[in-house]
Amino acid sequence: MTQHEQDAALDGLPAAADDLSGDQVVEYLRNNPKFLAENADLLSTMESPGRWSGDGVVDMQQFLMENLRAEIDNLRESARFVIELSRNNMSIQSRCHAAVLALLAADTADQFFHIISDDLPLLLDVDVVTLGFEPSQPPLAGLVSPEILTLNEGTVDHWMAGGRNACLVREIDDDGALFGAAAGLVHSAALARIRPGKTLPAGLLALGSRTPGLFEPGQGTELIAFLARIMEWSLSRWLEKPT
């Protein structure tokens, strides 16, 4: 129905809704049979009539209608949740891509380490990002930096049990081994394995947030694992460069 047709149909009705009588509403609906079809959302707010009345009589039609109405509401909420989740995933993916581009733009190893500790927290919307390595023999001079943590031997396998490449921790109690001076700030963490290679010892990339439950077991870990692979490649490139 066009706006003109609706205005014509309403012509002659009282301006205030409180002045409308039931007969006038019925007459309007009879004159505009497509109104409810074009305004289907109104049906979810209306009470359906019962087929029977009286004590001890169950109206199955009304029962099924109410169940259907509740199911529609649940589906609507589920759709909203999926849309919001998709938006969040796209945002996280974009942040990860920005972090990778920042790492690849580093011209020196010191600049690379600075980007990890200072730039990645902003790009990834977390409170702290650290990179740590277990001791190697012989020690690698290229990994000696105030921005690189020294992990105790076995730390990587402790967190990456079962050969995992990444894990998410809802509530973490860190004594400084993973997040250094920022340990008291961090409540939730995402960890990724830095795999050892010809010039690289075993290590961990750690993302920490002051928000409890920001990282939850069961969430996807593909992006942080991908970020760790980029770091492996970049660090190997820096360490293999002749000094």
| 85 within domain boundaries | no
Residue range(s) defining the domain that contains residue 142: 107-240
Domain containing residue 233: CATH number: 3.30.450.40
| 47 within domain boundaries | no
pLDDT for 115: 92
Cα-only R_g, the chain: 31
Helices 222-240 and 60-104 sit at what angle, rounded to 10 degrees?
10
| 182 within domain boundaries | yes
| 225 within domain boundaries | yes
* Residue 6 buriedness (CB in 10 A; 0-12 / 13-18 / 19+): middle
- pLDDT digit string (tens) for the chain, length 243 residues: 455 545 544 555 445 555 778 788 888 888 888 886 777 666 666 665 555 555 555 565 666 677 777 777 777 777 776 666 555 556 677 888 889 999 988 888 888 999 999 999 999 989 999 999 998 877 777 787 888 899 999 999 999 988 899 999 999 989 899 999 899 999 999 999 999 887 789 999 999 999 988 888 888 888 899 999 999 988 887 776 655
| 35 within domain boundaries | no
Spatial CB neighbours of 93, under 8 Å, sequence gap ≥ 6:
223
Which residue type sits at 145?
S
pLDDT for 88: 59
| 57 within domain boundaries | no
pLDDT for 80: 74
pLDDT for 78: 74
| 91 within domain boundaries | no
DSSP strand pairing (128-133 vs 148-150): parallel
| 7 within domain boundaries | no
pTM above 0.85, yes or no: no
**Domains of the chain: total:** 1
